[in-house]
């Protein structure tokens, strides 16, 4: 190789050794340079990723804050759908609430012996059209509710967007008695709508035991 005499010349053997050593050094430096380059790229990528991650987190946080702020503003703008003072005065609301209670008490009280008495007692609080409708339809109670009495009442507000009709939910608690004398506790809900007629508030419609 290269005209060297490895067997007889010591200097040629030294040259071969140095040549091989140089080759190994070149290969070693080359491999080392490649690895350093790869490690540098990985380090650069790691440095960039936290930055991108931070930017992403910042964007999410800002988006979340904006969303929460928007929801807060929307909540402030929303009106209470159970508040009827937007269309009616406190005096009107108190008056109609009392009428609704008196009507519910009269309408609820029932006796199978006098099945139309309840309607006549409730008539002063009703519009004529509702009275005539109830009179035509009649009332049918199960045997367990042949006799109904009132013990107490409670009034809860209901969602109402009308500017003409006031609505109240009157809860009537009382006692029911069957024809054979058995008694049981009762709770009935009367959703009452009232409209002003010739300066007086009258019950225009009533629904019993329905979700308000």
Domain boundary among 78, 112, 131: 78
Report whether pLDDT(64) > 80: no
Residue 74 sits in the same domain as residue 95: no
Domain boundary among 45, 78, 111: 78
Q: Is residue 83 part of a domain?
A: no
Whether the Cβ atoms of residue 175 and residue 185 lie closer than 8 Å to each other: yes
Q: Is residue 108 part of a domain?
A: yes
* 3: region left, alpha or beta (phi > 0 left; psi from -120 to 50 alpha): left
Kind of pairing, strands 183-197 and 165-177? antiparallel
Report whether pLDDT(212) > 70: no
- 100-132 pLDDT per residue, tens: 999 999 999 999 999 999 999 999 999 999 999
Domain count, the chain: 2
Nearest Cα to Cα of residue 188 among 94, 81, 104: 104
Give the count of beta carbons closer than 10 Å to the beta carbon of residue 185.
Answer: 9
Extract the runs of DSSP E, i.e. beta strands, from 53-199. Answer: 110-111, 147-156, 165-177, 183-197
Q: Is residue 85 part of a domain?
A: no
CATH code (residue 193): 3.10.450.540
Residue 37 sits in the same domain as residue 106: no
Residue 70 sits in the same domain as residue 118: no
Helices (H) and strands (E) in the chain, counts: 4, 5
Residue 71 sits in the same domain as residue 115: no
- 25-60 pLDDT per residue, tens: 877 777 777 677 776 666 565 555 544 444 444 444
In the predicted model, what is the mean pLDDT of residues 65-90? 68
Question: Domain span at residue 146?
Answer: 90-208
Q: Is residue 98 part of a domain?
A: yes
């Amino acid at each position: 190789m290269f005209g060297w005499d490895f067997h007889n010349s010591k200097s040629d053997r030294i040259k071969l050794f140095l040549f091989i050593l140089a080759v190994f050094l070149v290969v070693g430096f080359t491999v080392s340079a490649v690895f350093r380059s790869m490690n540098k790229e990985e380090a650069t990528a790691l440095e960039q990723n936290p930055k991108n991650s931070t930017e992403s987190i910042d964007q999410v946080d800002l988006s979340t804050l904006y969303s929460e702020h928007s929801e807060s503003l929307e909540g402030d703008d929303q009106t209470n759908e159970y508040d009827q003072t937007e269309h009616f005065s406190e005096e009107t609301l108190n008056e109609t609430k009392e009428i609704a209670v008196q009507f519910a008490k009269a309408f609820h009280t029932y006796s199978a012996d006098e099945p139309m008495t309840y309607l006549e007692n409730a008539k002063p609080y009703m519009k004529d059209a509702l009275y005539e409708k109830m009179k035509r339809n009649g009332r049918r109670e199960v045997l367990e509710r042949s006799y109904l009495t009132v013990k107490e009442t409670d009034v809860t507000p209901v969602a109402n967007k009308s500017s003409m009709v006031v609505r109240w939910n009157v809860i009537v608690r009382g006692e029911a008695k069957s024809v054979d004398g058995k008694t049981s506790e009762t709770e009935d809900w009367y959703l009452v709508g009232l409209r002003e007629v010739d300066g007086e508030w009258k019950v225009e419609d009533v629904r019993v035991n329905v979700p308000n």
